[in-house]
Structures are given as C-alpha cells and as structure tokens.
Structure 1
Amino acid sequence: MGVHDTGIDELAAEARAALVAEIDAEGAWDEDPVWREAFARVPRHLFVPYYYVGVRGGYERRWGESPDPGARERWVRGAYADVPLATRLRDGELLSSSSQPSLMARMLVALRVAEGDRVLEVGAGTGYNAALLAHRLGDDDLVTTVDLEPEITESAARHLAAAGHHPVVVTGDGARGVPERAPFDRIIATCALPTVPGAWLAQCRPGARILTPLATGLLALTVRHDGHAEGRFLPAAAYFVPLRGAGGGRPAAVSLAGLPAGAGEQETFRFLLALTRGVLDPRDAYGLWEREGGPGRERYGVTVGGAHAWAWLDDPEGPYAWPLP
C-alpha cells in the first residue's frame, strides 16, 4: 500500500520503534540505557533524504521526494533498517555513508559520555550521529562535528536543523581536530585512520576518552595527564570508509603469497595484518597469530606518546609491539 506524505511521519515512527526494539534485543544499550531514548527520538530519515542500495550491476537511488508513494514507503522503511546506508558516491566509489545503527549504538555506549562532556566527532557524515550526541547531552553547543568536504558539512547542517539540532559543524581535516573548539572530553571518529593523530591528544583534557576505528577494529584510548594515551580494542569488527585528507588514505593491499590456504579467510588474522601493515611480514604475522592461538581484537592495544604511536599484543612493553604510521 502506498503512503501519502502526511503518513510518512507515522510510518517513520513505527519503523523507528521497530529498529529500537531490534537494537534493544541485542543488548547494545545495557551499559548505558539513556542512549535508547536518543535513538527512539532522533528521526534517522531526516538525515538520509536519499541513499543508494546495491543492486545487480551497481546502485539504486531511494529518494524521499519520489513522486511514487510506493517508492517513498521503501525509502522510509529502508532508512530504519539496521544496515549502513550509502549516501555519497563518486565514480562508483563510496565517499560517505550512514553507519549501521546498532554499531553506532555500541560505539556511543563505548564512548562513555557523561553529562557536560564536550565531544568532537570526526566524520560528520549525514549528521545523524551528531544529533544523537546532542540529544543525549541536552546541549547542542557541547557537540562539534568535522568533515573535509563542504558539501557533506553543508548537508549535515541542513539535516541537523531539520531535526531541531544545531551543534557546531566545521569543514576541515579531521586528523587536525578542531583546536578552536578544544578542549574535548570525548573524541569519536566515524571513519578509519591509519594511526591516532597527535593533534587529538593535544586537544583533549586529561582523562578524556577517544574512540576511533583503526585497522578493522574499534580502539578505545584514555588520555593521561602527560598527554600520552593508551587503550585496547573492543572485541567486535568494524569497517569504515577511510578518512580523507592529510591523515587518511586507502592502505595498499597486502600479498598473502606463501601463506597456508584459507589464511586470508581468518578474520582475526586479517585484523593483525591490517594493524601491522608495512611493518610485519605477512608470513611472520601468520606465525605469531598461530602461536598465540588466533588472538581476538581485545588482546591488542595502542599506546600514543609524543611523536610515536605503537600497537601491541597483550602488553605495551612487548615482546610483541609494532610502530604505527
């Protein structure tokens, strides 16, 4: 049955409630149930006026202003599916997306936001994550979100305003942070980086928490009083669009030649490869991975100090430690 424009909000509310129930059932908010209300209240469809879904041979565009009521219904239902949504493509390459809501929920819980925290989000995307943060904190001015592309920040600001939020939206290189809005109590990145930028630490208060995708995992760091930071990876896998700008870029492929058949299909081995790319020979990485019993992400961590950053297995002092770029 087609839906008239007057029915879109009702349909969205119904679809949003179903999404919240689905994420709830996974236990994503168990450690911080306050986030449940943010997801129940912030309308994701306002942040994805159009998006692309994969079809045979490419992508199909779904659009909230389609003249076809059935197409509008598919758009609004799809906006509340627990999947990432491709929002910007260029020459067939994905430039920006709205992350999977259940992953966003887990990341926001892992960020451990407290009342009054000043938060920097690196990777504005659609603006949806910044809206969730602003709703949770109850103060738009506590939230800053940054993205390199002016067209992304302009549309994010429009979406945020439509949803009734006005956090500070900055156009710039996220690897450099936003010094004029510092100091921050929390930094969350929604794009993958090859290392942890020193600028972030310089813009953090002591005790601040940084949550960022790195390799194919999520790293949670605590910033110490001396400007160093250290922390471990969360257990779950996470795949994000790479950061664009001076601190980003797509990593080169790693050759699996000479490794046992099926080695590349081992998810935790691929994580170790991504983490030690360009430092550890893939054959040495495989030997280590096998000796250590195929360690999960939670056994790895990162230390950042001065101009240096290094990843490690089990212990920051080694014996297994590798420099990051």
Structure 2
Amino acid sequence: MGGHAPGREFDGLAAAARAALVRRIGASGAWDADPGWREAFEAVPRHLFVPYYYVGVAGGYERRWGESTDPGARERWLRGAYEDTPLATRLRDGELLSSSSQPSLMADMLAALGVEEGHTVLEIGAGTGYNAALLAHRLGDDKVTTVDLDPEITESARRHLAAAGYHPVVVTGDGARGVPERAPFDRIIATCALGGVPPAWVAQSRPGGRILVPLATGLIMLTVPGAGHAEGRFLHTPAYFVPLRGTGRPGGEAVQLGGVPRRAREDDSFRFLLALTRGSLDPQEAHALWEQEGRPQRERYGITVSGERQWAWLDDPEGPYAWPLPS
C-alpha cells in the first residue's frame, strides 16, 4: 500500500455512506422478498472491493483511486464507492472488461435466489469479490465458491475478500464448466451475461436447486427438478451485464431495425424480445409478435433446458411461441 492508504481517516464517512446506500436499496423494495440481506449489505464494506474504479467523463473515463495524494480525490473515490451505480473496474483499450454491479440490482438478485442456512452457492464471475463477500457473510465462507476465467481478477478478488475478512473458495477457471469438484450446489448465480444456460450448471445443481442467470437483458430464474432438466421464468427486472469471457459476446453484430416503428425500437420490452429471439426471428417478425401479444413484459417469458436442448418461450413451454437457445 502507498503512503495514502484510506485507513481510519475515512471510517466514519464510509459507515455513513454505507448506511445511506442501505437505506436507498431498502426503499427500492429489493429486500422485501428476503430481509436477511439487509444485514449483509450493512456489514460488508464495498470500498474495500473497489480500491480504484473508472467513471465516464466527456471523451472517455477518469480513474478514481483510494490512494490518491489529494484528500478531496480520496473522498470522491469513497463517496462514489457507495453510490447505487455499477462501477467500471477493468478497462482495456476503452472496452469494459469487468465491473462491480449496481448494489440494488445485486440485492434484487440475491433476494430472488432464496438462500437458506446451510445452502451451498456457486457464483459465476468473481468480479471484485463484493458479491461473494455478501454471500459469505450470509452463509459462511465454506458454503460459497466463486469462479472467474481471468487469474488477475481472481487474485484481486481474493485480496479484497481477505482485506474485508472473508475467505470463500475462489477458483480460476472457465465459469461455463462450473466447478465440479465443489458440486453439487443448492444455488448458482451468474454475474455476467450469457446467450444460453451451460449444461454443466444444471448437472452441478442439487434437485430442487435454483440457477439465476442474466440473459437477453433480463434475469432468468430456473428451478432444477432433477438430472438434466431445468425450467423457469424471467424476473421483471431489467439487467445488463458484461458477457461471460470465453463465450463470445451474446448477440454479435448490431441488428438492422429498418421498418420497426421508433416507439417499439425505444421500448425496453421490445428490445428484450429482440435479444431473446436473436437468430430465430428477424426484427419485423419480432415486432409483429410483440404487438399481437399485447407488448409482453419479461415475466411472461421463460426458458426450458432438457438434456442437450434448451429453448425460450412466451407464456407456455409447450405453447406456439418457442425459440431455440445455444447451450
């Protein structure tokens, strides 16, 4: 650490900023489903997981750093660490590689996971380690495994976790393969976007387990009734995440929206349908379906995984509207 490590000088400010963040998340209703998460967010110091981060400014990004020699800059860094916003933590050539998710979205996802005492959880995408710390606070270090492909990310996550007093299992590896040596898991949560559900996650889930995955600008909650099978619906929450490294970018090239009315192009629920049916429906077909079905919101859609096959659907897994997904 340098000579300006943000030690005790900021303890009071950090505690006040964290309390304000907790109030803001509580007001959003994120914990209504599981109030037990409030205590984890009160206890885990987010600033220890983002010793530096980048904020968008005109023409690019500005780095905020907890060890800046300027006390004003250090204070801006600390206050920013407790804003309810995602924080860019790794950039390469101006491209976002990793971020610390928006805390209220993390709270939504953790509450939706429905964890109980004794549950084991696999997190795909270690990021800064903050989410793993929240899980470890709630369930205990030995119940939490987090995996990331990038050794620099897992090393820094391990360091941040230790600084905050948490020691879950941090694995460097391909998240799409899960972590078979730690399976089976009661819950699997991904903090990166995917185009489909890796079969390994279904295989590594206990019967009755749940898998929560960001997919097509939404969050799909799957229940695993037994071997090789999973099914569930999207939550109402919009979600935008950095893609899982090693899988290629979900979506690829931009979609041509010629002929689709502007009102639809700018509508979040239509953009979700476009992302979900990419490769199956062209934008005009998607638009016709969206209008005909009353502009459905995310929670009317679901996904079924059955052996090697998986598909997205509207209203009913066996209904007329179904689209294959890559596994």
- Counterpart AA for 1:62: R
Cα deviation for residue 225 of structure 1 reads 1.7
Aligned twin of 1:17: 19
Q: Is the 8 A contact 2:48 2:163 kept in 1?
A: yes
The residue that corresponds to 1:251 in the other structure is 251
Distance 2:186 2:137 in 1: 17
Cα distance, 1:54–1:18 mapped onto 2, change above 3 Å: same
Residues in 1 aligned to 2:210 and 2:190: alpha-carbon distance in whole angstroms: 12
Deviations 1:181-239 (A, max 9, x none): 10000000000000000010111110000001000000000001233000000001100
CA distance in structure 2 between the aligned counterparts of 1:21 and 1:91, rounded to whole angstroms: 36
Q: Which runs of 5+ in 2 are unaligned?
A: none
Residue of structure 1 equivalent to 2:103:
101
Tell me, yes or no, if structure 1 residue 222 matches structure 2 residue 223.
Answer: yes
Structure 1: distance between partners of 2:121 and 2:324:
28
Kindly state the Cα deviation for residue 69 of structure 1 after the two structures are TM-superposed.
0.6
> Any residues of structure 2 matched to 1:249-288 within 5 Å, and which?
249-252=249-252, 253-288=254-289
TM-score between the two structures when normalised by the length of structure 2: 0.96
Q: CA contact under 8 A between 1:193 and 1:248: conserved in structure 2?
A: no
Q: Please, which moves more after superposition, 20-29 or 257-266?
A: 257-266
Amino acid at match of 2:113: L
The answer as to whether partners of 1:218 and 1:237 remain within 8 angstroms in 2 is yes
Please give the alpha-carbon distance, in whole angstroms, between the structure 1 residues aligned to 2:258 and 2:312.
24
Cα distance between partner residues in 2 of 1:9 and 1:298: 42
Asked if 1:142 corresponds to 2:143, the answer is: yes
What corresponds to 1:132 in structure 2? 134
For 1:171, the equivalent position in structure 2 comes to: 172
Task: Report Cα offsets for 1:141-170 as digits up to 9, x if no partner.
Answer: 110000111100000000000000000101
Q: Alignment RMSD, CA only?
A: 1.2
Give the C-alpha shift of residue 4 in structure 1: 7.8
Q: Give the counterpart letter for 2:27 in structure 1.
A: A
Report the Cα distance in structure 2 between the residues aligned to 1:209 and 1:4, rounded to whole angstroms.
39
Question: How many Å separate the matches in 1 of 2:320 and 2:279?
Answer: 19
Contact 1:222 1:229 in 2 (8 A): yes
TM-score after normalising by structure 1? 0.97
Match for residue 122 of structure 2?
120
How many correspondences in the alignment? Answer: 321
Residue matched to 1:92: 94
- The equivalent of 1:58 in structure 2 is 60
Deviation at residue 5 of structure 1 after TM alignment: 4.5
Deviation at 1:89, TM superposition (A): 0.1
**For residues 6 and 158 of structure 2, what CA distance do their matches in structure 1 show?**
27
Q: Is the 8 Å Cα contact of residues 134 and 140 (structure 1) preserved in structure 2?
A: yes
Which residue in 1 is equivalent to 2:310?
309
